[in-house]
Amino acid sequence: MSSHPSSRPAVAPRGLVFGLEDRLGRIEVAFWLLPVAVFFVFPGYLVLASQVLIAGLFALSLDLILGYAGIVSLGHAAFFGVGAYVAGLLSVRGYGEPLSGLVAAAVVAGCVGFVSSFLIVGGHALTRLMVTLAVGLSLHEAANQASSVTGGTDGLSGMETSDLFGVFAFDLLGKTAYLYVLGVCLVAFCLVRRLVHSPFGLSLRGVRENERRMHAIGAPVRRRLVEVYTLAAALAGAAGALSAQTTEFVGLEALSFDRSASALVMLVLGGAGHMYGAFVGSCAFMVLQSFLADLHPAYWQFWIGCAVMLIAFFARGGILGYASAARERLARGSRGSRGAAARPGP
């Protein structure tokens, strides 16, 4: 085994996985070429693809607090919904410009996240879970009550998203919408990636692994949690705004427990703490759901439930977790056969 300090191990050490190397790997580039390919190969499915990306972005924002800071939230849709309604209300009042609506939505959602972060920084896991749930449910109810503003159960209709950059109109086929969503996801992802590799990101992982020790070494744990929660809320709000702008409609279910729970399922399915897990999970879940729903309009939920159970049982840490463990096993196998001769004596 080499003791050279700058040599990279032949395989990522246990715990560090795909996407966590600082340099842009080949596979990462390949990953982002896939959605571009989809644009050309599946022009009839762009609306589904946009929704997969939006769900992926939302799950990514959940990954920030779940996979990296260790906070399990069942009410994250609160921020998604806030972002959606902000973008929606701006559009209904005549300000349909997509990019400014997106930024406004993210800012407002971030503020809401900032305020609610103080409710969740204390307490242990189950308490936090229930508080996030309560916040989500309360916001849902508030939106229902404020039906003169939000449209209540009827939803906010009459939205018109203006042309992107004043040139590209949002059409029935969903081409502009798809490229818009893809662009935003790419930018957001780069942002998150930068963050995760920075000292900030490392301190988050520290908090997740052992909060007490982080306190002991003097890391500003509370402040970190507030910061990451605010950021995650802003990102979720951006996803909500994208959803509102591309479908030109906002319903109460944007704030619902269902949406929070599906994001959680998608994230855990793909693998939390892997950044890409969010997109892998949302793709797998929504494509599977769409495929099954076509076969069985009434009973697809059964097969999805079984599929989720199987993956949860056999694939530790979701799809990417399983893949990274498999990769490690294979690499260890090859290293074992190669290293048997090369390993220095005990």
Which residues ranging from 89 to 128 are in contact with another protein (CB under 8 A)?
A: 119, 122-127
Q: How far is the CB of 183 from another protein (least distance, A)?
A: 20
From 188, 243, 223, select the one nearest 52 (Cα to Cα): 243
Q: Supply the minimum distance, in Å, between the C-beta of residue 171 and another protein.
A: 8
Residue 20 or 72: which CB sits closer to another protein? 72
Q: Does 20 bind another protein (CB under 8 A)?
A: no
Segment 303-342, which members bind another protein (CB under 8 A)? 304-309, 311-313, 316-320, 323, 326-327, 330
Told to check if 18 binds another protein by CB under 8 A, we report yes
What is the closest distance, in whole angstroms, from the C-beta atom of residue 169 to another protein in the complex?
Answer: 11
Counting contacts by CB under 8 A, is residue 248 touching another protein?
yes
**What is the Cα 90 distance to its own chain's centre?**
25
298 belongs to the binding site for another protein (CB under 8 A): yes
Decide: is 287 part of the binding site for another protein (CB under 8 A). Answer: yes
Specify the stretch interacting with another protein by CB under 8 A; choose among 105-113, 189-197, 224-232, 253-261. Answer: 253-261
Alpha carbon dihedral 295, 300, 302, 304, in 10-degree steps, equals 100
Bridge partner list, 156:
250
Kindly write out the interface string for residues 215-234 of this chain, putting x where it contacts another protein by CB under 8 A and - elsewhere. --------------------
**Under the criterion CB under 8 A, does residue 45 sit at the interface with another protein?**
yes
- The 3 state secondary structure assigned to 115-184 is HHHHHHCCCCHHHHHHHHHHHHHHHHHHHHHCHHHHCHHHCECCCCCCCECCCECCCCCCHHHHHHHHHH
Rounded Cα distance between 120 and 128, Å, is 5
CA distances from 199 to 188, 203, 206, 248, 272 (A): 19, 6, 10, 39, 20
